[in-house]
Structure 1
Amino acid sequence: MRIPVATYRIQFRKEYGFAAATAIVPYLAELGISDLYASPIFKARAGSSHGYDVVDPTQLNPELGTREDFDALVSAIHQQQMGWLQDIVPNHMAYDSQNLWLMDVLENGADSDSFDYFDIDWNHRLEDIRERVLAPLLGDFYGNCLERGDIQLAYDESGLSVNYFSLRLPVRIESYARFITHNLGQLTKALGRHHPDFVKLLGILYLIKNIPAEAKGRERYDQVVFVKGLLWELHEQNDAVKELFASNVQSFNGEVGHPESFNLLDSLLSEQFYRLSFWKVGAEEINYRRFFTVNELISVKVEEIKVFYKTHGLISQLVDEGIFTGVRIDHIDGLYDPATYLERLREKIGDVYITVEKILELTEDLPTAWPVQGTSGYEFLNYVNGLFCNTENEEKFDRFYTILTGVTAKYARLATEKKGLIIDKNLAGDVENLAQRLKRIAGQTRSGSDFTAYGLKRALSEVLALFPVYRTYTASDVVTETDQQIVRTTIAAAKQQLPLLQRELEYIEAILLRTDEEYLTDDQKAERLHFVMRMQQLTGPLMAKGIEDTLLYVYNRLLSLNEVGGNPSHFGVTLEQFHTFNEHKAQHWRHAMNTTSTHDTKRGEDVRARLNVLSEIPDAWAEHVKHWADINFKQKVRLGGRTIPDRNDEYFLYQTLVGSFPFAEEEFPAFVDRVKDYVIKAVREAKVHTAWLRPDSVYEQGFSDFVERLLVTPESNEFLSQFKPFQAKIAEYGIFNSLSQVLIKNVAPGVLDLYQGDEFWNLSFVDPDNRRPVAYEQRLTALKQIKATLSHDPIALIDDLFATRANGNIKLFLTYQLLQARKKWVELFQQGDYEPLAVKGALQNHIIAFARRFEGQTAIAIAPRFLTSLVQPGDRPLGTAVWQDTQISLPSGLPSTWTNAITAQSLQSKETIAVGDALQHFPVALLVSS
């Protein structure tokens, strides 16, 4: 198995395809990257900016380039002896006209070859979507769209289609008869009943009315194609037929201002295997599983063996050809049975590197039986980030946050409330479907026959809201001890909240624990297991929408902690927690990924590094915020008794500005527009004053105007004149946090992952802001200059890098040096044990130190933190003048001569290393035994 030394994530899109990536491969290799880490490259919806809206996983995305372009990229990667880690999407595809498998389902229903490819409930409780699939893709109510003429019938060589702007849906062949026979008398008058073409049309109508259902093999498809071909031929050869079809299209499409004229099209639509609806309907009435709450992403039944092989054919081929050397599984928790899927995948693609996107709580572990190398690294991100949050100041932040914003609720309570909000609004239909399934199960036995639908749904909703992890993994009669504990803890908490529904909760507990099944039939046991597995598929999206996409925009105590996979109620992590995490990782998941930024993170890694500085200075931070709030009070909008923005959103904005304010002045105008776009997204996600489901344009415009007033005319703006000096100081300290973070990410157990462009400062917001173009020419030029000076005078180079640190070259330098070390001592970093090192002296809490050891080789990482009390802004935390008596104790048996892989300086030591000596020229150190 090829284990990557370091991966580099590329976000492919139409504007940045295979050819563009080929151009930077030499740069990546020179930097020290071993493996390209690619966003999905399979055929996606036209214009996709991310590739996760796949329409055909059996083809490469033509928008990224030709096959020749792809082959050129592969050749360039192989020439540099690099690997290719590919992000794959087994959970969902785009609900889009270009998804031919789905269009086949919408045209042929149960007779479609791909009928069971998608996770659709064809026997839904609601009659109007029973044996149909909801299509919640309209921008307004169905009736409004219809009578406004937005929904149009069309006819061309491919047949009849229903069109709504760019959406094009097929018409089932049986409905062609309704269309053709409308005003058929017009054709009779024009041609006469005995005209050969009229007779041919009658013959086609006979064929349509006798198209076989459930035909074996290709019989039905062949007849449909034959009928469509005959119709088009007739249409092209006979002007009277063409005129009839054009006239009928016009009739079916109605006349705006005459509602009754749309009855024809309405009747035709009622016959289809889909039901067009307003997109908001999907929140409350849904009969297909989505990716989270995204109507435009329909889930795939990859648990079906034929679907698995169909969707993974090209992936397997590219692995066999040696192109893909590893795969990253997107949203593993969305799958019906993740363990079985991973076993099939391992069997299919063999002994290649596999990592999974999985959110783990602070003390949660990945299922040990999974045949994977680990996760894509969110848990690592949050442990490293937490190191730079000063846990000692939590109480001060709590008190200030409460006084400033009036937010008094504890995080745990807010988490339950926000998940409850998602249950009631965004996932109401999904929860209702699950509750109805539970009601059917309860009615099968005496023990559950008296439970009402309301009581069961209320109890189930509470369990879902209180569920503490993304999901459990029960897939048989066996429930692991870990999952049992999660279920029991959750049910106990639910009982505290719902004392009148004890029996219902105990019933749900028994089902989840697979107990009390002695007298059930095999079918009843299977139905209960299916309920459990369906519930497990729902807890993940609920957690993601309730926490990641709601609460993390509401609970704004310290935004650096509001990250994917994070829990902001933990005000940082201790050194002991960090060391314990890494020791466990080195023993069990040593090849999991180490990341600090991804395409999904809420803010760039250097934004978090800056914001963590605030945790060191709570009093000064509080004073500045109160002063800014006083200055800006007159800038707020007051409408209808509301003050816009509220204090919580205002506080969110101040943190955002402190964390992301650009170093370069020329970036400021674009920054203002980015912030305005970002705050609108943020308040919609928060779902307090506005939301995606119910936008409040007044609040959104008021907040946008507030941002504009705060940032306009920077040369004379009162707020900016007060804000910028403080922000500049925070940015200076943030640089050192960033450098420490880079060191730890490179040296700790795991595969280093670098997000595109992050070798410079990453001050981005959440997507799509973090997918902006990367200036690779600038990075390549900087790297060449660094290498040229490094070879003969590294100390002079370091001095120059500090003098120009705002341009990001200092981060590039450190990244380069560490990647070279990873390449030179591959086994040490891939296989080495992890050993925490004790730090002594007055400043021991300001140093993070650990060793990696393998077969006589040792590397020691030394990273500072909490520097606001040690050096002035702009000064370097170097030498014994800063670090005084701070010492690192070394394990016995180590050599006394060390080389700093960053500065190339030698260091002599015996039992201890003086931090001032190790950090003599650069604020972090990687000492390698000589």
Structure 2
Amino acid sequence: MSIPRATVRLQLHAGFTLEDARRQIPYYANMGASHLYLSPISCAVPGSLHGYDVTDPGRVNPQLGGEPALRALSQALRARSMGILLDIVPNHMATHPCNAWWWDVLARGEQSRYAHFFDIDWRPADRTLHGKVLAPFLAADYAACLQAGELRLVHGGQGGYLIQAGGARFPVAEGTLDCEAADVLAEHDPASLTGRRRLHDLLERQHYRLCNWRRAADSINWRRFFEISGLIGLRVEEPEVFDAVHELPLRLYGEGMVDGLRIDHVDGLARPLAYCERLREAMHERRPGGVGVQGRPWLVVEKILAVQEVLDERWQVDGTTGYDFMDQVAAVLHDPQGGVQLVEAWRRVTGCDDAAADYLREARKLMLRRHFVAERNALVRSVYGLLRLRAQPGEWTLKAVDRVLEAYLACFPVYRSYIEGATARGPDRAIIEGAAAEARIYLDPASGMHRLLDLITARLLDVSPGANEADGQCTHRLDEAACRREAVRRFEQLTPPLAAKSLEDTVFYRYGPLLSRNEVGSDPSVLAESIGEFHARNARRAARHPCSLLATASHDHKRGEDARARLAVLSERVGDWRRACAEWGAWRNMPGDTPSRSAERYMLWQALVGAWPLDLRLDDAEALAGFAGRIVQWQRKALREAKINSSWFEPNLEYERDCARYVHELLGWSPAQARLLAEALESGRLAEAPGAHDPAGGLLRSFHDFVQGIAPAGAVNSLAQAVLHLTSPGVPDLYQGTDWWDFSLVDPDNRRPVDYEGRRQALAATEADADMAALLQTWRDGRIKQAVIRRVLALRTHDPGVFAQGAYLPLATTGRRHDRVIAYMRRLEGREVVVAVPRLCAHAVKGGADALPRIDMTYWDDTGIMVSAPGGRDMKDIFTGKVHYASRDADLPVGSLFADLPCAVLVAA
């Protein structure tokens, strides 16, 4: 196996199969990619669009073409010296009838051979659930469903029977039904009172308990992926489970069909360190032979790193999936001074002075009280049982422990800690003690809560000699250490979903001074970072994880990489943004008039500006209706994720319709037409929407003109971002479709079909040495971005070593605009590559429909880059072909570097 030069992430599903991926190999080979990075390929719920709802981890999904299609793909890639990076899902599986393991647990309960495969609490606090699995899959309360006849006994084929609940089916446990009765179905017919009683008695004898899906939050007795009852947690810390879950990917790796693995949601696992060690060892044991195979497997993990957090080197992985770089490269393109002004503007709009940290703390408490109640209660019982092993009877109550843990969890600063031994290591100790120090602020010292907080902190951090007998709350544990391990496990498996759902799926839709910073892997309170910080993070990655993935977009992103780059311009042009918002705010309010609705409107404006297509014409009603549909789809999700005026739990459909009408009126439709459009979108009848449209209506012209004014500067940011992405230490990952401009919104918008035919034609029409200045003239079609990517990846193909093993050397800049240039060198054995891009230059880029993403040479004045080349030498720009002289005595003039294109990559001439 060889470490990838560049990967391309592809989303596989029935509409884009492994065979479809194989057809794209020539295109991506010509672009310069070395590996296809595939979404999960195991059997998943029929019709799955992502593959993370696995039903059989041991088989390649036949809807994707099955293993024959995978082999054909691998062979075609090998023929071009390319390979596969495989995304695997060890944390969870789907609770679907196609999942044979899950079905067997429902049918046999604790006696199932798979009972220990899943993270199920067979002895929860609710004694009526002992030995049972809660099945929260009913659309209404159990009694109502039974009364309405929505629960039925039906034939299941081969002489067996099943329980039908709406559109779902469940097994009938062996020995719980008298199949010799003359008419089993009639006896259990819910149409009669007697039939309902018999059916109820039958259901009571099953190994599961059906209930309303709304009861899952406070009653569920198994670990879910986040709060999704369709996904159940696996216990891969158990050797048998690990082997069963990894049989397919390890076999494919051993056969040389895949070159590396990407681990989904590593923070969900009970023991990530032990897991990574075991997986790497298993891959070593199956290491394929052959020419070009290196000594160790390639392994990356999906891990969200908080500010100043670093990847645990004990894991011995090659790095992350690149969300940390996505944050890094975006932050350096934002103006910190403008960020402060945007926060002030946000506070004026919403009337709320709360900081991002306040929003996050409140969101965490909301999630604990409403969505993770069962997980919270289980943690409280576990910690309470641990404390009682040393405390006097009655010293602490469950309620007191619950209050302290809520404050603790609300202040936890990272996704999780990693306590896998008897004593927490330094970094984990610092995290837990820091969370305790902040939690102390919100607890009443007079009530003894501070003392309890200190006690809980000490027990989480260390195991000390003490009581060694089982407790009522730890009946299945034999000693104090076991109780402590259970408490730590529950704590560490609650903090990751709590962090994700609180920040990414709540705060990101409530707090929005600048939505380009509300991104997976980012902290919205950190609006920008300096060039020095950018270099420090790159240097740290080069030293510790030089083969980590680098992302600028993903299937999980909140908005596309070029939408973020465009919105970053607002941090430089705050005055223009404020004036535009004043005009838009005076036009018409969204339904109602509250701070939360003002916030929704403000974030909607940003979504429109960021996603506005470059080729959108004001007289194209069909294109405008399509764009409005995308925005309304985003808006509905944003409203529900915010959980203020609507939610997934309690959708406020009327309010959502009013907001959709506001969008359509804003984009030029009359109120009557807007109502019809909103109704058509809601019912999926977009083709029936009215076509009449006023190009001068609403705020359409105003939004169009504003976007045209900042779009060229946004494109400068985009090209700078692309070059930094492709040349920084690590392995650049290109998300499907981002080789052209990417103004997508959150899923499902970011998973729309890619126009591969258009891309192939554009690539074929653009020679490898095409005139980049000419492509810049037609920059709106995206070919300039495609050409930049192709040119840099060609360099990486020609000299992979300088990027994979080369030193990372920040270059000093001089002159009036020295802080407006990011420059560095990659060097290996005398071979050098100089990289330079602009930043924070929006005021030097002209706006308008005919403007180009170009910075006038005079703007740079005396700005230069210190290359310090002994003796001097010529260096050629791979984009323009221009030769520049570099020496120790003369700086490289930035104005000359960026005269034709706002980025430069220089190699020896």
Q: Deviations over 1:637-677 (max 9, x none)?
A: 35xxx669811000010000000011223643211111111
Match for 1:657: what amino acid? Answer: L
Within-5 A mapping of 1:771-790:
771-787=751-767, 790=768
CA contact (8 A) 2:867 2:886 kept: no
Task: Quote the Cα distance in structure 2 between the aligned partners of 1:725 and 1:250.
Answer: 69
Within-5 A mapping of 1:226-237:
none
Give the structure with higher Rg (CA): 1
In structure 2, the gaps of 5 or more residues are: 285-295, 470-477, 670-692
CA contact (8 A) 1:879 1:917 kept: no
Are positions 1:93 and 2:93 aligned together? Answer: yes
- Give 1:446 shift: 2.7
CA separation of 1:37/1:415 partners in 2, compared to 1, >3 Å: closer, same or farther?
A: same
TM-score, normalised via structure 1 length = 0.90
Task: Quote the Cα distance in structure 2 between the aligned partners of 1:352 and 1:819.
Answer: 23
Match for 1:17: what amino acid? Answer: T
Are positions 1:678 and 2:634 aligned together? Answer: yes
Q: Which residue of 2 aligns with 1:847?
A: 821
CA contact (8 A) 2:547 2:731 kept: yes
CA separation of 1:853/1:273 partners in 2, compared to 1, >3 Å: closer, same or farther?
A: same
Which residue of the other structure, out of 323, 328, 331, is the alignment partner of 1:378?
Answer: 323
Q: Which residue of 2 aligns with 1:227?
A: none
CA contact (8 A) 2:71 2:257 kept: no
- Give 1:692 shift: 1.0
Task: Quote the Cα distance in structure 1 between the aligned partners of 2:219 and 2:709.
Answer: 52
In structure 1, the gaps of 5 or more residues are: 185-243
Which residue of the other structure, out of 544, 559, 564, is the alignment partner of 2:515?
Answer: 559
Q: What secondary structure is seen at the aligned counterpart in 1 of 2:314?
A: coil
CA separation of 1:520/1:653 partners in 2, compared to 1, >3 Å: closer, same or farther?
A: same
Are positions 1:646 and 2:625 aligned together? Answer: no
CA contact (8 A) 2:5 2:796 kept: yes
Task: Quote the Cα distance in structure 1 between the aligned partners of 2:853 and 2:710.
Answer: 14
Which residue of the other structure, out of 887, 906, 910, is the alignment partner of 2:887?
Answer: 910
CA contact (8 A) 1:135 1:277 kept: yes
Match for 2:197: what amino acid? Answer: N
Q: Deviations over 1:436-486 (max 9, x none)?
A: 112222222236751100000111111111100000100111311011111
Q: Which residue of 2 aligns with 1:511?
A: 459
Are positions 1:169 and 2:148 aligned together? Answer: no
- Give 1:921 shift: 1.9
Within-5 A mapping of 1:548-627:
548-627=504-583
Task: Quote the Cα distance in structure 1 between the aligned partners of 2:442 and 2:194.
Answer: 52
Q: Which residue of 1 aligns with 2:276?
A: 342
Q: Deviations over 1:270-311 (max 9, x none)?
A: 111111111111111110000011010000111100010011
Q: Which residue of 2 aligns with 1:134?
A: 134
CA contact (8 A) 1:42 1:61 kept: yes
TM-score, normalised via structure 2 length = 0.92
Bigger share in helix: 1
Task: Quote the Cα distance in structure 1 between the aligned partners of 2:799 and 2:468.
Answer: 59
Task: Quote the Cα distance in structure 2 between the aligned partners of 1:49 and 1:120.
Answer: 27
Which region of structure 1 is more displaced relative to structure 2, 666-675 or 766-775?
666-675
Q: Give the count of matched residue pairs.
A: 852
- Give 1:251 shift: 3.5
Match for 1:902: what amino acid? Answer: F
CA separation of 1:904/1:598 partners in 2, compared to 1, >3 Å: closer, same or farther?
A: same
Q: Which residue of 2 aligns with 1:451?
A: 396
Task: Quote the Cα distance in structure 2 between the aligned partners of 1:278 and 1:24.
Answer: 45
Q: What secondary structure is seen at the aligned counterpart in 1 of 2:90?
A: coil
Q: Which residue of 2 aligns with 1:318?
A: 252
Are positions 1:253 and 2:207 aligned together? Answer: no
Are positions 1:637 and 2:611 aligned together? Answer: no
Q: Which residue of 1 aligns with 2:145?
A: 145
CA contact (8 A) 2:133 2:208 kept: yes
Q: What secondary structure is seen at the aligned counterpart in 2 of 1:646?
A: helix
Task: Quote the Cα distance in structure 1 between the aligned partners of 2:83 and 2:114.
Answer: 34
* Shift >6 Å, 4+ stretches: none
- Give 1:879 shift: 5.9
Within-5 A mapping of 1:246-395:
247-255=183-191, 261-350=195-284, 351-395=296-340
Task: Quote the Cα distance in structure 1 between the aligned partners of 2:825 and 2:193.
Answer: 76
Which region of structure 1 is more displaced relative to structure 2, 450-459 or 139-148?
139-148
Task: Quote the Cα distance in structure 1 between the aligned partners of 2:108 and 2:871.
Answer: 72
Match for 2:128: what amino acid? Answer: D
Task: Quote the Cα distance in structure 2 between the aligned partners of 1:802 and 1:831.
Answer: 33
Which residue of the other structure, out of 811, 828, 842, is the alignment partner of 1:868?
Answer: 842
Aligned residues: CA RMSD: 1.6
Q: What secondary structure is seen at the aligned counterpart in 1 of 2:315?
A: coil
Q: Deviations over 1:46-88 (max 9, x none)?
A: 1101000000000000111143322221221111110100000
Q: What secondary structure is seen at the aligned counterpart in 2 of 1:773?
A: coil
CA contact (8 A) 1:9 1:37 kept: yes
CA contact (8 A) 1:448 1:507 kept: no
- Give 1:492 shift: 1.3
- Give 1:567 shift: 0.5
CA contact (8 A) 1:8 1:33 kept: yes
CA contact (8 A) 2:350 2:595 kept: no
CA contact (8 A) 1:105 1:115 kept: yes
Q: Which residue of 1 aligns with 2:862?
A: 885
Task: Quote the Cα distance in structure 2 between the aligned partners of 1:843 and 1:260.
Answer: 85
- Give 1:149 shift: 2.0
Within-5 A mapping of 1:764-775:
764-775=744-755
Percent of pairs with identical residues = 35
Are positions 1:155 and 2:161 aligned together? Answer: no
Which region of structure 1 is more displaced relative to structure 2, 696-705 or 289-298?
696-705
Which residue of the other structure, out of 471, 476, 492, is the alignment partner of 2:421?
Answer: 476
Task: Quote the Cα distance in structure 2 between the aligned partners of 1:493 and 1:309.
Answer: 41
Within-5 A mapping of 1:652-663:
652-663=603-614
Q: Deviations over 1:145-204 (max 9, x none)?
A: 222222221123342111224422111002122xx36xx4xxxxxxxxxxxxxxxxxxxx
CA separation of 1:883/1:260 partners in 2, compared to 1, >3 Å: closer, same or farther?
A: farther
Q: Which residue of 1 aligns with 2:51?
A: 51
Task: Quote the Cα distance in structure 2 between the aligned partners of 1:434 and 1:502.
Answer: 19
Are positions 1:826 and 2:800 aligned together? Answer: yes
Which region of structure 1 is more displaced relative to structure 2, 720-729 or 734-743?
720-729
CA contact (8 A) 2:138 2:166 kept: no
Are positions 1:920 and 2:868 aligned together? Answer: no
Which region of structure 1 is more displaced relative to structure 2, 67-76 or 604-613?
67-76
- Give 1:394 shift: 2.7
Within-5 A mapping of 1:404-415:
404-415=349-360
CA contact (8 A) 1:871 1:882 kept: no
- Give 1:691 shift: 1.0
Task: Quote the Cα distance in structure 1 between the aligned partners of 2:45 and 2:557.
Answer: 23
- Give 1:399 shift: 1.6
Which region of structure 1 is more displaced relative to structure 2, 487-496 or 115-124?
487-496
Task: Quote the Cα distance in structure 1 between the aligned partners of 2:392 and 2:267.
Answer: 32
CA contact (8 A) 2:773 2:901 kept: no
- Give 1:895 shift: 4.8
CA contact (8 A) 2:463 2:484 kept: no
Task: Quote the Cα distance in structure 2 between the aligned partners of 1:757 and 1:55.
Answer: 28
Match for 1:52: what amino acid? Answer: Y
Q: Deviations over 1:606-638 (max 9, x none)?
A: 1100100000011111111011010123xx435
Are positions 1:32 and 2:32 aligned together? Answer: yes
Within-5 A mapping of 1:66-81:
66-81=66-81
CA contact (8 A) 2:665 2:698 kept: no
Q: Which residue of 1 aligns with 2:687?
A: none
CA contact (8 A) 1:124 1:131 kept: no
Task: Quote the Cα distance in structure 2 between the aligned partners of 1:73 and 1:440.
Answer: 53
Task: Quote the Cα distance in structure 1 between the aligned partners of 2:246 and 2:579.
Answer: 57
- Give 1:518 shift: 4.7
Task: Quote the Cα distance in structure 2 between the aligned partners of 1:828 and 1:556.
Answer: 40
Q: What secondary structure is seen at the aligned counterpart in 1 of 2:134?
A: strand
- Give 1:382 shift: 0.3
Task: Quote the Cα distance in structure 2 between the aligned partners of 1:828 and 1:594.
Answer: 17
Q: What secondary structure is seen at the aligned counterpart in 2 of 1:704?
A: helix
CA contact (8 A) 1:463 1:494 kept: yes
Task: Quote the Cα distance in structure 2 between the aligned partners of 1:174 and 1:681.
Answer: 46
Task: Quote the Cα distance in structure 2 between the aligned partners of 1:876 and 1:333.
Answer: 41
- Give 1:721 shift: 1.6
CA contact (8 A) 2:546 2:804 kept: yes
CA separation of 1:876/1:269 partners in 2, compared to 1, >3 Å: closer, same or farther?
A: closer
